[in-house]
Amino acid sequence: MLRLLIREPLIHFVIIGGLLFAAYSMLAQAPGEEAVNRIMVDTGLIDRLERDFVRQWRRPPDDLEREGLIQEYLREEILYREALARGLDRNDAVVRQRLARKMEAFAIIDAGVPAEPTETELRAYFAQHVERFATPEQISFTHVFLARDSRGDDLAADARTLLGELRAAAVSDIDGLGDAPPTRPSYEGTTQREAARQFGRTFAERLFELPAGSWQGPVESGFGLHLVLIITRTPSRDPEFEQVAFEVRSDYLENRRRELRSAVFTEMRRNYAIEMPAPDQADRQ
């Protein structure tokens, strides 16, 4: 029977075809050339990320937030591709974000679980990061807003003129000045983190550098320019270790988990070539 099959012309054709296909596959890739996963970050993608941000926060992102959106997209895309490469999508009708989180969970399990810290380690961690457990600095402020969209090229000049008027006026005289603000005109007991959620990180950092008691600015946000009066400032306060021991332990373990995730992701990212738009295309001004 075997001899009859060997003599069959159709069998010869199948064997020869298979050999030719294998040879072509081997020669299709140049010697020494490695297959590379490429991720293209173009202006269309960045525009989509910005639109999603605006829908969620009702304001455009600042430069730091835009960079964060891109980096989060790259993280998700790489984890998603790694998940597909390992077959985590089989028989599982889930979206790419869930696959990325699934890949990350598998990678963390492989990396191991952080060991339970000793009190000595926690006290050392607390000493290094005491600012994380402090009562944050708070300010109360009011602001006058000038809209970029409506004022165009006159925005900076209008801000300088209005700043002079505000410094010569009482606080009660600001009604009707500037443009209708996209947020509340005044805030009480606001932390830097809360201000960043409303106006963006760059604005919040500049806001907390301003002196109290006089009109300052202009301070730029994604909305436009703001002239700001810091009314009161409450400094931050450092706690004792015993007051926040539970929080220190939780933060320590979460920090170790973040380090593990970062190390695992960095190793994954080495397998990808990231293509970014040219500087002139990336200019969002």
Q: What is the pLDDT of residues 182-194, one digit of tens each?
A: 888 899 999 999 9
Residue 225 CA to residue 234 CA, distance in Å, equals 25
Instruction: Look at residues 163, 191, 193, 189 and name the one whose alpha carbon lies nearest to residue 178.
Output: 163
The number of CA neighbours under 13 Å toward the Cβ of 51 is 6
Which position has the higher pLDDT, 55 or 115?
Answer: 55
pLDDT surpasses 70 at 113:
no
Residue 164 CA to residue 185 CA, distance in Å, equals 19
The 3-class secondary structure across 121-138, one letter per residue, is: HHHHHHHHCHHHHCECCE
Instruction: Look at residues 122, 150, 159, 157 and name the one whose alpha carbon lies nearest to residue 244.
Output: 122
pLDDT surpasses 60 at 209:
yes
Give CA 6 to chain center in angstroms: 63
188: helix, strand or coil: strand
The tokens for 35 are 């297959």
Residue 258 confidence class, pLDDT cut points 50, 70, 90: confident
Per-residue confidence (pLDDT) for residue 111, from 0 to 100: 63
- What is the arithmetic mean of pLDDT over 169-179? 71
Q: Are 202 and 66 in contact (CB under 8 A)?
A: no
Return contacts of 242-246, CB within 8 angstroms, 24+ apart.
Answer: 244/126, 244/133, 245/122
Other beta carbons within 10 Å of 166: 22
The partner residues of 237 in beta bridges, in order of sequence, read 135
- What is the arithmetic mean of pLDDT over 242-253? 92
Residue 97 confidence class, pLDDT cut points 50, 70, 90: confident
Pairing of strands 224-234, 272-275: unpaired
- What is the arithmetic mean of pLDDT over 30-58? 80
Q: Are 70 and 46 in contact (CB under 8 A)?
A: yes
Per-residue confidence (pLDDT) for residue 110, from 0 to 100: 64
Residue 204 CA to residue 58 CA, distance in Å, equals 17
Q: Exposed, middle or buried: residue 271 (CB in 10 Å: 0-12, 13-18, 19+)?
A: middle
Residue 26 CA to residue 21 CA, distance in Å, equals 9
pLDDT surpasses 80 at 138:
yes
Percent of the chain with pLDDT over 90: 41
Residue 14 confidence class, pLDDT cut points 50, 70, 90: very low
The partner residues of 135 in beta bridges, in order of sequence, read 237
DSSP 241: G
Per-residue confidence (pLDDT) for residue 29, from 0 to 100: 44
Lowest mean pLDDT among 31-35, 122-126, 232-236: 31-35
Per-residue confidence (pLDDT) for residue 84, from 0 to 100: 80
Per-residue confidence (pLDDT) for residue 247, from 0 to 100: 93
Per-residue confidence (pLDDT) for residue 148, from 0 to 100: 86
Residue 193 CA to residue 126 CA, distance in Å, equals 21
pLDDT digits (tens, 9 = 90+) for 32-44: 444 468 899 999 9
pLDDT surpasses 60 at 207:
yes
Per-residue confidence (pLDDT) for residue 215, from 0 to 100: 93
Instruction: Look at residues 214, 216, 193 and name the one whose alpha carbon lies nearest to residue 205.
Output: 193
pTM attached to this predicted model = 0.50
DSSP 184: -
Helix (H) or strand (E) holding 18: helix 9-27
Per-residue confidence (pLDDT) for residue 45, from 0 to 100: 92
Supply the mean pLDDT for the chain. Answer: 81
